[in-house]
A and B are shown apart, each in its own frame.
Chain A
């Protein structure tokens, strides 16, 4: 009896230290990749750092007894979302460029200070979870003594398997949100299709002839307007080069007629 208990306590302690080592290594990797994602100058490199960070989050899910979510994280994020990011970056060819080119002076310093303030607030909330009892895989007699909130652990909820437990919850208690999620996904797919449609004339989208835009703006914003005209002309080279010309007395239909 007693050797068995001692053995169980020893095994629990070994798994606790294994969790500690895994947490330190993966946590450093996670935080480092997150910071690197923000600091990277190239957007493609940022996306690759995001992949690394998402994999570390998946590893945390596996450590936190959420095996279903660990697999879903890899499939959905690394398999779909980041691929979508990379696809758009490479489709638009906007990988390079400056990382921080804000117009506001002192924006970076203010952002970092705000972030530190938020982090201190969030770290203050975690106070009750720092006790010995908040560690989940300790022997039971040790867990009962410590201060702080007691970690229940998922051994009971995952008794029949994590996938079965989550699936039962999704299709019983949370079936209505689940159906709403399906509708949301359909709407998102339809919205992406509508937004991704390529229009013949940008005036169909902006409700305004492109040649009339510089007339209503000051000289300081003329660069932006010509940049937009250049962007629309870049879609079909040579088709609407006259859009960048100064406004004249032509009405909307004439401009469109020349464009086509």
Chain B
């Protein structure tokens, strides 16, 4: 027996891909899915892997690889599947050749997401089978299992995990890699792979028939487990909820659905006959519950259990058991909150400080810089989804015309611009808009923990590659050269002037605010600053920057030398030259 490992669900999925003979893996980073590809890259000798500019492209590359005949994995967070939904829905019709597993990492409770959608609906929507692991061991094993089902039934398979699977570490027993053969050539079959209407019409009945066959398969498959216990209570569950059920109802009979779509109807009916009462325990939507109720089986579920946020044992106990547990210790109210903040030395701070002072409307986007909404910067008015800021800014211009002219800025990160901001820019160009877009180019995909992207010059597998120049790209799309500016956001005056000048123009402008993320290893911190208390007038201007290194102590501003990166932005907001560093006076 190999040594047991303590792996997160994401690490386990990577291990599972390796063991199952996957040869191609693609993704766009997104919490809680990011570490899947970050761990697959450890196997780059055996698995080609890449960050794609967005999930749709990641899906399309994965589809090509599977059509080519090798085992393939594509991973994304729940909202990523929205981006990739177009190719995904048709992939259901074409089916695959090499196995293809699509990992969707849902985020109940929205620990780091803009919504809480339950992606199990995508399995039903696209009519593809779905597996739901309940711990890391299953997360690993189910990758291989999903690929087997994919190849046996000629279908993509969804592996649906949630934050508590992705980011929880549990014990895993690793195994050896099983190599899969690579076909000699691409075997042409336009009726299967070319979805013109005449072919697609022939494929739809195949999809329906396939679903029925997989449902039959699920009746016997050991992945749908019955744990026979008390006949008084039966619980039907899947995914992470299984663990909470095991703790709360240790004596109950359990039907654990590892293959949770399509449902094994006969198995469910048989289970229902053997128990007096049934709970369906699942996070978020009544996905299993509604289907089971539609079979005419009486169950207790969302009428008692919450349909929002993630579960834990207490929520299940309090919802379903008669006696409510009193909390022995009440939460302490009125404690100071500890909101996340842009890091000390973050280059975005200068831009948001400037936008706040300018008092303009700001359409924002997904990334670290979404923290620009937090006081005292308070410089962001909308955030919808990846890439939306560019289109949102143009739409607001269209709505308000002269009333908002020169008063609206769209902000977007470098990676997000590559992801889906670029098409928004093309739209503004094409439809003759005059928006001002600030690209917050910190040379990395920062929010998810520093992944390479098309502006960084490196691939996931650490190879040198082209480095896309955002300013040149903008001019290539038709933005006038004089309306494309690259500025250093550490210089507040230059930032302010550039944004102000571009806002005054009646044409589309791009301001590239370029400065590396302060946390990049390649960035050297400079000598920290300190506040000269003789000069400090206690005006509080420096505190408006929201820099975690600047604190107020006994009424005076102080700089924490451990946190200060020496970026010097605060020296530019102090009217009394009170922020200095060693050696300043010698100059």
A and B: bona fide binding partners: no
